[in-house]
């Protein structure tokens, strides 16, 4: 669930409440909606013409949001979506994107402050509706740590790209395990120069959530990873600048062995999707506005011959 040097990375607005009563929950369950959009940017650099305007909403203490319905449309690309992605909702309280929202019909959000975000071209809009009522989702990092029997911190890498390290946390309660990570990889930010052509890749940021179990010293389960939008600025030989946004996601089944000496060994198998969207004119007119690619991940494999390795430490 960690990236490797490009292109190896492909491998390894305002809340508007409306009331909706439910039987036995009069004056308790409320249907709300929030909107977000993309507008024309002004004074933000050559070739950067889009600005995201998120919608903000708050879930009160002792309440939970559920039954989410999502609608998105981008008139310029004729793109329409009805499933949330891992970068659609940002938790202001936890300072992270709700990656577990991706294609999750049973999503529940605990009390806190949030932002609803959409991407695309200027003119793109999205709406998010949901129920708010009594309940407690109990999914924040602090709550996971408070309710855990053990908390294990892990640093993970693969010997094929040792400088790229991911810091993970596992929360263990009985035999059940939940995991989280939120990582920015400065070592993967770079500029590629080919004559007068230049591409500047910002440092990518990935977030992941894990669900699994532990037996003895072996943790098995599934990571769901979101590649948050990454800016790539291309400079045309004639001098014009063009902005591309890259994002994607990965689902990875892992088996992680915690050795007594504090080291780990992990094998993994899964599949991912990478997407690229031009904000404004593409670098070349012949390039499609949006592309999407699917790929498989296996560790070990031909490109990554050794299992993932790293260290682990039990939090006191």
Cβ neighbors of 29 (< 8 A, separation 6 or more) are 20, 21, 22, 131, 132, 133, 134
pLDDT at 97: 87
Using CA atoms, how far apart are residues 79 and 73, in angstroms rounded to an integer? 6
Same domain, 71 and 166: no
∠ CA 49-50-54, nearest 5°, is 160
Q: Does residue 4 belong to any structural domain of this protein?
A: no
189 CB-contact burial (10 Å; exposed 0-12 / middle 13-18 / buried 19+): middle
Token match 């249907």: residue? 31
104 CB-contact burial (10 Å; exposed 0-12 / middle 13-18 / buried 19+): middle
**250 and 3 Cβ atoms separated by less than 8 Å:** no
Both structure tokens of 106: 């049973």
pLDDT at 10: 31
pLDDT at 37: 95
Same domain, 172 and 266: yes
Same domain, 222 and 128: no
Both structure tokens of 127: 């709406």
pLDDT at 167: 96
∠ CA 190-311-302, nearest 5°, is 60
Domain count for the chain: 2
CATH number at residue 275: 2.40.160
- Intra-chain end-to-end CA distance of the chain, in Å: 26
Q: What is the pLDDT along the chain (316 residues), one digit of tens a residue?
A: 444 433 333 333 222 223 233 344 445 789 999 999 999 876 545 455 678 999 999 999 888 999 999 999 998 878 888 989 888 999 998 888 888 888 788 888 988 999 999 988 889 999 999 999 887 555 567 788 888 999 999 999 999 999 999 999 999 999 999 999 989 999 899 998 888 789 999 999 998 999 999 999 999 999 999 888 898 999 988 888 898 989 888 999 999 999 999 999 999 999 999 989 888 788 888 999 889 999 999 999 998 999 999 999 999 7
Q: Does residue 1 belong to any structural domain of this protein?
A: no
Same domain, 91 and 168: no
Residue of 306, 302, 225, 233 whose CA lies nearest to 264: 306
Same domain, 103 and 161: no
Q: Does residue 57 belong to any structural domain of this protein?
A: yes
Same domain, 196 and 276: yes
Q: Does residue 3 belong to any structural domain of this protein?
A: no
Q: Does residue 45 belong to any structural domain of this protein?
A: yes
Same domain, 181 and 66: no
Q: Domain boundary residue among 74, 100, 134? A: 134
Looking at the DSSP assignment, which residues form a beta bridge with residue 126? 36, 72
Q: Domain boundary residue among 134, 169, 184? A: 134
Cβ neighbors of 21 (< 8 A, separation 6 or more) are 27, 29
- The domain of 56 spans 13-134
Same domain, 52 and 125: yes
CA dihedral of 259, 261, 263, 266, whole degrees rounded to 10: -10
Determine how many CB atoms are found less than 10 A away from the CB of residue 179. Answer: 24
Q: Domain boundary residue among 134, 164, 199? A: 134
**185 and 164 Cβ atoms separated by less than 8 Å:** yes
Token match 């596992």: residue? 170
**109 and 138 Cβ atoms separated by less than 8 Å:** no
Q: Does residue 181 belong to any structural domain of this protein?
A: yes
Q: Does residue 6 belong to any structural domain of this protein?
A: no
Q: Does residue 2 belong to any structural domain of this protein?
A: no
Same domain, 271 and 130: no
Both structure tokens of 253: 């089944």
Same domain, 157 and 50: no
Signed CA dihedral, 220, 205, 274, 121: sign only = positive
**259 and 266 Cβ atoms separated by less than 8 Å:** no
**150 and 144 Cβ atoms separated by less than 8 Å:** no
Same domain, 100 and 223: no
Same domain, 25 and 172: no
């Amino acid at each position: 669930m960690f990236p490797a040097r490009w292109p190896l990375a492909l491998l390894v607005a305002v809340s508007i409440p409306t009331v909706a009563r439910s039987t036995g929950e009069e004056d308790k369950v409320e249907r709300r909606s929030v909107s977000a959009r993309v507008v024309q940017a002004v004074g933000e650099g050559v070739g950067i013409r889009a600005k995201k305007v998120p919608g903000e909403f708050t879930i009160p203490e002792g309440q939970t949001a559920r039954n989410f319905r999502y609608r998105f449309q981008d008139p310029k690309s004729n793109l329409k979506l009805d499933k949330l992605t891992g970068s659609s909702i940002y938790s202001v309280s936890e300072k992270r994107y709700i990656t577990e929202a991706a294609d999750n019909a049973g999503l529940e959000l605990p009390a806190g402050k949030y932002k609803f975000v959409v991407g695309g071209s200027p003119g793109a809009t999205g709406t998010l509706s949901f129920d708010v009522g009594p309940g407690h989702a109990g999914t924040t990092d602090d709550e996971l740590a408070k309710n855990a029997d053990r908390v294990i911190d892990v640093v993970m890498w693969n010997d094929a790209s040792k400088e790229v390290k991911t810091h993970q946390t596992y929360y263990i309660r009985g035999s059940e395990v939940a995991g989280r990570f939120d990582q920015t990889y400065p070592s993967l930010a770079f500029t590629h120069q080919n004559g007068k052509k230049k591409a500047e890749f910002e440092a990518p940021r990935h977030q992941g959530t894990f669900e699994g179990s532990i037996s003895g010293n072996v943790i098995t389960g599934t990571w769901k990873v979101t590649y948050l939008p990454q800016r790539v600025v291309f400079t045309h030989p004639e001098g014009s600048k063009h902005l591309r946004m890259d994002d994607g996601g990965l689902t990875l089944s892992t088996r992680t062995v915690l050795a007594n000496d504090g080291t780990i060994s992990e094998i993994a198998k899964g599949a991912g999707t990478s997407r690229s969207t031009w904000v404004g004119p593409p670098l070349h007119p012949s390039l499609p506005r949006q592309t999407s690619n699917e790929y498989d991940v296996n560790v070990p494999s031909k490109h990554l011959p050794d299992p993932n390795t790293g260290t682990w430490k039990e939090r006191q």
